Amino acid sequence: MKWTRITIDTTVEATDMISYELNEAGFEGVEVEDHVPLTEEDRKTMYVDLLPDEIAPDDGTAKVSCYFEIADGEDIETTRLKAEEAKSKVVSILEDIKPFFNIGAGTVTVSETEDKDWINNWKQFFKPFRLDENIIIKPTWEKVDDANDDDIIVEIDPGTAFGTGSHETTRLCISGIKKYLKPGMKVLDLGCGSGILSIIALKLGAGAVVGTDIDPNAITATNTNLEVNGIAEGAMTAFQGNLLEDEELCKKLGYGEYDIVVANILADVIIPLSSIAKKFMKPDGVFITSGIIDFKENEVKEAFVENGLEVVEVNPMGEWLSIIGR
C-alpha cells in the first residue's frame, strides 16, 4: 500500500484553517511544518536543548501536507485521476479560505510516498551498542552476541518520545553515576524519560531509585522498561509532576533522603532545579547534571553556588557538559 501526499506552501497564519478544512474534507494525516519558535510552555515539556544554528528564522511561511491512500493493485491511471481530483479539492479549499486569510504562495504539489509504519520504522536504526566499557544498551527486539560475563545489559524500548541512551548527555550522566554510586545508595532521577539512568543505577547497585517526570508518557515508558529488565517490584517508584510547581510532590519524594540526585534535562531547567535539589540530598550528597550546552556553563555553575552547592566537576563531551555539585 502507498500514499499520495499533497503539500501546500502557505503561511503560519493560515495553517489552522487549512488543517481544519482538510480534515473536514476527509484527508488523513494532516501535518504542519513551520519555523515558529517554541513557547516557554513547549520548552517545559521537552528534553533536548536547541543550538542557535539549529533554529531556522521564522519567516512566516509554512507547509501543510495531507495524505490519501492508494489501494493495493490500483492501476497508474486510476491513481493519477484520484490525485488530480484531490488536488482540485485542495485548490478549491484554498480559494474559499483566501478572502479571509493570507495563504501566501498557495502552491499545491502532489507526490507519492511508500507505505511505512511511521511509528515503528525508526527501530531498524536502533541496534545494541556499548555505552561504556561494561554497559550495553539493547533494544528489546534485538539480541546481543558479543556480551562479556561482567557486562551490564540494559533493555530499552524507548517508544517514539524518548531517547535511546546514545547521546553524549546520557553518557556523561552514567560516568558520574558510576563514579559516585556506592552499593545501597538511594538515587533521585529528575526527568527520568525512558528510565535508562534509573535502571543503570539499580543494576550498578543502588538500593532504591525514585524517578519523576512532567510527561505521563515517561512514567509509562519507565515502568515498562523496569519490567523488561526484571527490576524487582518496589526498587523504583516513578511520579508524574513538576517539582518546580508542586510542593506536595516534593514532600512526597522526601527531603534529605538521597545520596545522589541526577538530572539529564537541559540547562534552563537545571538552573531552577538547583534551588531545590539540595533539599533532597543527604549531607555530602551529590547532584549530577547533564544536558548542558557548553555556552551555558557559567550560568549553571553560578546557580549551583547561589543555592549552596559546591561545583566539584565539569566534564565535557562534544558541545555538552556534565556539571556535578556537592
* CATH for 7: 3.30.70.120
Same domain for 107 and 221? Answer: no
Residue 193 domain flag: yes
Residue 150 domain flag: no
Residue 65 domain flag: yes
Same domain for 173 and 87? Answer: no
pLDDT of residue 46: 45
Cell 489501494, residue located: 71
Residue 131 domain flag: no
Same domain for 91 and 181? Answer: no
Residue 153 domain flag: no
Burial class of residue 120 in the structure, from the number of CB atoms within 10 Å of its CB (0-12 exposed, 13-18 middle, 19+ buried): exposed
Burial class of residue 275 in the structure, from the number of CB atoms within 10 Å of its CB (0-12 exposed, 13-18 middle, 19+ buried): middle
Q: How far is residue 261's CA from residue 278's CA, in Å, rounded to a whole number? A: 9
Tell how strand 129-132 and strand 236-240 pair up.
Answer: unpaired
Same domain for 75 and 180? Answer: no
Same domain for 250 and 186? Answer: yes
Final residue in a domain of this structure, among 114, 144, 170? 114
Angle among Cα 201, 165, 246 to the nearest 5 degrees reads: 65
* CATH number of the structural domain spanning residue 263: 3.40.50.150
Same domain for 168 and 109? Answer: no
Final residue in a domain of this structure, among 74, 93, 114? 114
Q: How far is residue 106's CA from residue 112's CA, in Å, rounded to a whole number? A: 20
pLDDT of residue 124: 64
Same domain for 172 and 307? Answer: yes
Residue 133 domain flag: no
* Best CA proximity match to 173, nearest among 152, 155, 189, 153: 189
Same domain for 212 and 295? Answer: yes
Same domain for 296 and 169? Answer: yes
The domain total for the chain is 2
Cell 515517561, residue located: 218
Same domain for 234 and 315? Answer: yes
pLDDT of residue 58: 78
pLDDT of residue 50: 47
Residue 146 domain flag: no
Per-residue confidence in pLDDT tens, the chain, 326 aa? 577 889 999 999 899 889 888 887 877 678 888 887 766 655 544 444 444 455 567 788 999 998 877 776 777 888 888 889 889 999 999 998 998 889 999 999 998 776 555 545 556 656 777 877 888 888 777 788 777 888 888 887 755 445 555 578 888 999 999 999 999 999 999 999 889 999 999 999 999 999 999 888 889 889 999 999 999 999 999 999 999 999 999 999 999 999 999 999 888 899 999 999 999 999 999 999 998 988 899 999 999 999 999 999 999 998 889 999 99
| Boundaries of domain holding 229 | 162-325
pLDDT of residue 301: 97
Q: Which three cell numbers stand for residue 110?
A: 502532489
Same domain for 110 and 166? Answer: no
Q: How many CA atoms lie within 13 A of 224 on its CB side?
A: 14
Contact 262, 188 (CB under 8 A): yes
Same domain for 41 and 189? Answer: no
Residue 172 domain flag: yes
